[in-house]
Structure 1
Amino acid sequence: MSVRPRPLLLGAGTAMAVAVTLTGCTQKAASGDGVVTVTATDTRCTVSATEFPAGHVTFALENKGSKVTEVYVLFPDDRIAAERENIGPGTRASLVTELKAGDYEIACKPGMRGDGIRQEVRATGRNTATRRSPEADAAVAGYRSYVLAQAEQTLPRAKAFTDAVKAGDIEKAKKLYAPSRIGWERTEPVAESFGDIDPKVDVREDGLEDGPDPATDWTGWHRLEKALWQDETIGDREKELADRLMTDLEDWVRRVGTAEITPTSMANGAKELLDEVASGKVTGEEERYSHTDLVDFKANLEGARKSYDLLKPIAAKNDPALTRELDRRFAELTAQLDTHRTDKGTDENAYEYVSYDKVPQHRRKELSDGVNALAEPLSRLAAAVAK
């Protein structure tokens, strides 16, 4: 999980229960409507219930502070069970998730930094998971296979890239950089759920936590991106970082099969991928040296579409109007993005797009509008699959 700036989430708020401060007497059970309210300020994270039934849980989130914040539901080992990022001051958001019975922590992170202000909570009940339909089981199984395949396919592409770095071949490494990231970008929310992998391989320099020295603590793709495009130098440090990147990606591949995947985490992950596009790709911040942002954009969009396609049989039963709108919005944004494509589209893992620094501002605005048009209905997918 990196701490990159992201756009404000402006999803419709769920009706708010009365929040009780963590420093006072905290309610033990969820409110009568089944909603757990989390109210964040710059110094506090208040929760309306420290115990609630396992299964589908709706968290109604409100930021009453002056800083952009994010709210996480964490397992005891700090893996992410659910998250909602970039909640702007004075705004509300809803997080629908599925939790097994057990202990968790709610963490609010004002300024999207640090370990957050935390509160222990518990999902109660005998059942360890929500009883799912055959369609839901099929969606989860299909997505797990997809994530594993994307991770495994990333390794040879990343190795080709890092081999070029270690050989000192700057031009070859530049050519192989963007393709090496496609599988990661398609499934990034799953990688972020482990907490420690994303900062090693995908953090930008300005995403480092306060304190570390970028010269020694910044690792991963973007550190090598800067060396290739801005510094135009490959030294011993960059060659060491190439090996480190492969080690960290191999760790990701080994662990990805253990990720907690549910229909709601798939839906929330699809929305997170659109947020990634809005915060980093459309703005040009993600690939600020290589300007390969549109390749990442395409991969994020494909990953979100894969989750949606697998969940569509469930959502279509519960909210057919939503699936009709999502079908239309996905098609429109894909077509709009592909107007910037420069290859013939024969290789889904090596597509090419115009350098993003060549995209004029009015075309960037069009892409941003398309992302926003898709993000709003996509924010309702988790609720649709949880009905």
Structure 2
Amino acid sequence: MRRTPIVVSALALAGITGLAACSPDDTAGSGGTAAAAGRPGKITVAASDTACTVAKSELAAGTSTFTITNSGSKVTEFYVYAAGDRVMGEVENIVPGLTRDVVMELPPGMYETACKPGMTGKGIRNPLKVAGEHQPLSGNAQLAEAVASYKRYIKSQSDTLLTKTEEFADAVKAGDVAKAKELYPVARTYWERIEPVAEIFGDLDPAIDARENDVADGQEWTGYHKIEKDLWVAKDVSGDKKIADKLVTDVTTIVNKANSATLSPVQLANGAKGLLDEVATGKITGEEDRYSHTDLWDFDANLQGSKAAVQSLRPVLQEREPALVKTLDEKFAAAEAELGKHRSGDGWKLHTELSKGDLRALSDAVNALAEPISKLAAVVAR
């Protein structure tokens, strides 16, 4: 939804390669023909600039793996929506020639699939019927406790998110640019930690967190990044009082929805991977906080949010794949150590203070972590 093709050019300019965009099942740049031809047990999706052809329009309830191949010229993404555009699962940043997999748990009901060429708008949609008996993964006691543990984490972070966003909005409305600049990365830290849950709820995420080039024609740009631009570029937020009030209203809605949401264990696994994709496509490149350059605050928050999801799943993973747990512990520690080199007081260096070598080392650490994390959903879905 939020990662537009501008990211690709940013990667080239930075000279960074090998970012965390692919899972072990991905076939980037090597033709993607295996996915197009179909793999056992996977639902192929042929995406282009004008089409989104899903191999099946009816599925049995339970876990399913969608394999999406982008043969178009634009970066795309794939979603499955329930009623009200509630996101059941997604995969972003599928660049031309890339194939990516996503595992979802779908109870019986009517859904819509969607490909979004250019990663904006409502996308190319098709109906999807899911039928039959369903034994939820959360029927497993360990997985149920994993979800409960993660929801406790989400509550703690979302409650503080609301408090810090209110403080940020008050500074904006008071015209206190210096204080608002100080509070901006702090408030966003809590947002970035819970973003996998926040993204579930339709248009609220873009209203809160869209960047200027993510806004569709005819839509108003609101949220954190609109105020960010006014703080660092215009250095004037006198016209942002309504935007600040709307931000608090939208964050309040997200917090309430996040705390009452029903989550699948697979969503925890996908969220852990999705947060690393966020790092690779927005934080390391400097695209996310392009005016304030406070991307490393977000980087740390995404890393910690991903780790929290993994820790919630840890008892299950330890029982099913203990070697994977050991690898994850090692790779998280390595990524945290690499990021820790760029501490500055209680916060972080600005993105503009990092060299290309610094950014490459960070991307390597994230890439090394993304590979084992990409295995989580399949382990959880067993």
Report the TM-score, using the length of structure 1 for normalisation: 0.89
Distance 2:294 2:37 in 1: 46
Distance 2:368 2:157 in 1: 27
Q: Secondary structure at the match of 2:78?
A: strand
Deviation digits for residues 331-375 of structure 1 (CA, Å, limit 9, x no counterpart): 1001111111123xxxxxxx4111221112211111111111111
Distance 1:100 1:123 in 2: 7
Structure-to-structure mapping, 1:176-191, within 5 angstroms: 176-191=183-198
Deviation digits for residues 55-105 of structure 1 (CA, Å, limit 9, x no counterpart): 111112222222221111111321110001111222211111111111111
Distance 2:275 2:176 in 1: 32
The number of residues matched between the two structures is 363
Deviation at 1:35, TM superposition (A): 2.0
Is the contact made by 2:35 and 2:99 (CA closer than 8 Å) also made in structure 1? no
Q: Secondary structure at the match of 1:377?
A: helix
Please identify, of 5-14 and 171-180, the stretch whose mean Cα deviation from structure 2 is larger. Answer: 5-14
Name the structure 2 match of 1:145.
Answer: 152
Is the contact made by 2:338 and 2:362 (CA closer than 8 Å) also made in structure 1? yes
Cα 1:3–1:278 shift into 2, 3 Å: closer
Deviation digits for residues 99-155 of structure 1 (CA, Å, limit 9, x no counterpart): 111111111112212211111112211336346321100000111121122111111
Structure-to-structure mapping, 1:148-297, within 5 angstroms: 148-212=155-219, 217-235=220-238, 237-297=239-299
Name the structure 1 match of 2:16.
Answer: none
Deviation at 1:8, TM superposition (A): 7.6
Distance 2:351 2:250 in 1: 28
Structure-to-structure mapping, 1:36-185, within 5 angstroms: 36-127=43-134, 129-130=136-137, 132-185=139-192
Q: What is the CA RMSD across the aligned residues, in angstroms?
A: 1.9
> What 5-or-longer segments of structure 1 have no aligned partner?
20-30, 344-350
Is the contact made by 2:120 and 2:215 (CA closer than 8 Å) also made in structure 1? no
Please identify, of 257-266 and 170-179, the stretch whose mean Cα deviation from structure 2 is larger. Answer: 257-266
Deviation at 1:3, TM superposition (A): 4.7
Q: Secondary structure at the match of 2:25?
A: coil
More helix by share: 2
From 368, 378, 383, give the equivalent of 2:378: 383
Structure-to-structure mapping, 1:355-370, within 5 angstroms: 355-370=350-365
Q: Secondary structure at the match of 1:46?
A: strand
Distance 2:243 2:216 in 1: 19
Q: Secondary structure at the match of 2:240?
A: helix
Distance 1:145 1:341 in 2: 28
Deviation digits for residues 242-284 of structure 1 (CA, Å, limit 9, x no counterpart): 1121111111122212324111111111111111111111111
Distance 2:109 2:343 in 1: 47
> What 5-or-longer segments of structure 2 have no aligned partner?
8-18, 27-33
Report the TM-score, using the length of structure 2 for normalisation: 0.90
Deviation at 1:186, TM superposition (A): 0.1
Distance 2:357 2:202 in 1: 36
Letter in 1 for 2:245: D
Deviation at 1:179, TM superposition (A): 0.8
From 7, 13, 23, give the equivalent of 1:11: 23
Deviation at 1:384, TM superposition (A): 1.3
Is the contact made by 1:81 and 1:260 (CA closer than 8 Å) also made in structure 2? no
